[in-house]
Structure 1
Amino acid sequence: MPATTENNQGSFLGRISIRRNQVMSMDHDSELEDLELFQKHVSDRFSDLLSSTIEDPSYEPLLSIAWLRKLLDEFLCCEAEFKAVLLMGRDPSQISKPPLDKLIPEFLERTVKALDLCNAVTLGIDAVKNLQRLAEIAVSSLEEAQIGDGQVRRAKKALSSLVTAMLHEDKDGGNAKGTERNRSFGRRGANNSAANNKGNFRSLSWNMARNWSAAKQIHAMSSNLYAPRGGESTGLAMPVYIMSSVLVFVMWTLVAAIPCQERNGLGTHSPFPRQLAWAQPMIGLQEKIAEEWKKKEKKGSVGLLEEMQKMDKVGQSLIDFAESFQFPAEAERLEEVKGYVEELAEICRKMEEGLEPLQQQIREVFHRVVRSRAEFLLVLEQAGKLSAPPM
């Protein structure tokens, strides 16, 4: 993560730790200051993510692999500060009183759904890696000094498999017969040769339950998400609402970008109150992503990941070349194809460098959420024991 982000987080966490380790109790003004600072940090982080979507070659494009990695970094920072605000040095009985006695269990339910979504997205990245391998076959075929019928047929076969795999998942809608869906390509085995077995790449399959739906998980996470009102808006209910909103937004974004099982209706995103300053950049990002999703639904493709969108476009152009290819090809036509092949090779390079670290980050998010959930459950258990009548 950027050095300034690290410094801000370290300063914030250290400030809370020092003050709450003091013997004196924390006054109301200090509590409000912590809450305001947490909101400011959330706003700053998502403002940074929003500003990076500007049409500028120095920024990583929205929903690119690099942008998603930055999103996950910011999520982990927000999660650490949220936990510090709510738990660090605090009497367990404080989070077992209304309204937190209801809000915390609801938040923990959202985290369970988020864990399922992390698993689904991790499988989705396996699928994207296989699309990358198909593209690499086409690149290796068309990079040769002399392009003949054999090279073009090999490239066309791989590219047709790639495009079919992208389109099939949307048409299938994530539904399949049987009680379980097994991944048709998620392993690096001998049977994983894309050029020799097009059928293996007809759909992006999962080992999730047949009726599992990423879109329904997202909608369930946001169904009872309401902003605190009145006096609750300046208390501990607000950071719970903020972190719930961040969690829903991050999961929604990952599912929009990476192929996941059953995403129909995902374009309907959760509205955040526009009057809340920290929510403004998140709303801006939601609107941009929802706009891209509408375009996707019209043309049909496997996900909004920037690299996949480019791969789809370049792949279609190369298929058009392959279908009209006659040996020997015109020099001008070969030069045009060379540009497409170089572009596809660059996309593959970015995927090769970025997909594995992205997958590792999602696993880190998964384990962080598991640990934090366990910490909250422990504090709730301690609070229950403190409030229990003596035997």
Structure 2
Amino acid sequence: MSDFRFQALEFLRRLLRALDPVLLLVLLTLMGYALVIMGSASPDRMDSQLMHGAIALAAMWAIAAVPSQRLLGLALPLYVLGTVLLVAVELFGEVSKGAQRWLDIGITRIQPSELMKIAMPLMLAWFFQQREGHVSWREFVVAGLMLVVPVGLILIQPDLGTSLLVAAAGFYVIFFAGLSWKLIVPVALIGIVGIGSIIAFGDTICQPEVDWKVLREYQKHRVCTLLDPTQDPLGKGFHIIQSTIAIGSGGVTGKGWQNGTQTHLSFLPERHTDFIFAVLSEEFGLVGTIVLLATYLMLLVRGFHIALQAHTLGTRLLAGAITMIFFTYAFVNMGMVSGILPVVGVPLPFVSYGGTALVTLCLGVGILMSIQRSRLAKQT
């Protein structure tokens, strides 16, 4: 019995050695929070969410146990595989709800764009590490081209939300690699002017006969709905109107668990996925929102701490980019649910219902743990 107990303890010790305790605590807090909210928003999906969580945690542990340099060594094959699969989606993919995003591989359907959320920052971090000390404008041009190809393939599916996330993941690596502010500021100014023009001339350019050329019709409707959701309160503006009502009605302490009227009277659509933040705000109020934000802040602080202490350029770039991806998920989701950003179908990280996004995000946490573990191993 004592031998069995010793072996069990030794196995547990080796299992936990790959895991960063701070990241693990933050992750379990977010996933526990998710289960509480899911118990109100959609109790019948609790079992599925528990299964998704178990798979995601197993995937996180598996990645955390792999040395960070070996992960970077997988960058090129993963990037090539992801790009080939995206081309296959364009040629042979299945169409669902007007979008061609899925690929049937016989035993199941896969969404290759999810792979690129991890493969893209991995590839660019590996690329810049290979050229450490010799980075010039040419490297940034090549990195930009490597980013544009998969983002373009995802955008034409169409999948604006995922394309933005993949683009952001790649941009963060390029930015941390030393992209000059002289290139960033003009693009930012053009964006500000463009957004200002849309706001100023929204009544004119949102007319049905106006073709925006660069955006599809449904994307135009999302932007125009953001500018004035009351133009179609029972149609395209319904999501934003109901979610902002739910958020505002929660007050300071909320209406209480399972007492949200917008949620339980079925006014709030997609309440278990993209709009779960509105459920949280209605039932737990400002206090619950602050707790969630504080937990995300702990995740970001720990992620940046790991990035700053990483022992190679590639791992520093990768850890910084992944941490910023977590921020992007949270910012975009809460922004669109609050009515300050267009609805683009981005889940609330670690909280929204769904398996694919949860596994992808937990793989990101696993990469951070791998980087931290490799740094500690280097010191001993």
Judge same fold: TM > 0.5, yes or no.
no
Q: TM-score, normalised by structure 2?
A: 0.31
Larger radius of gyration: 1
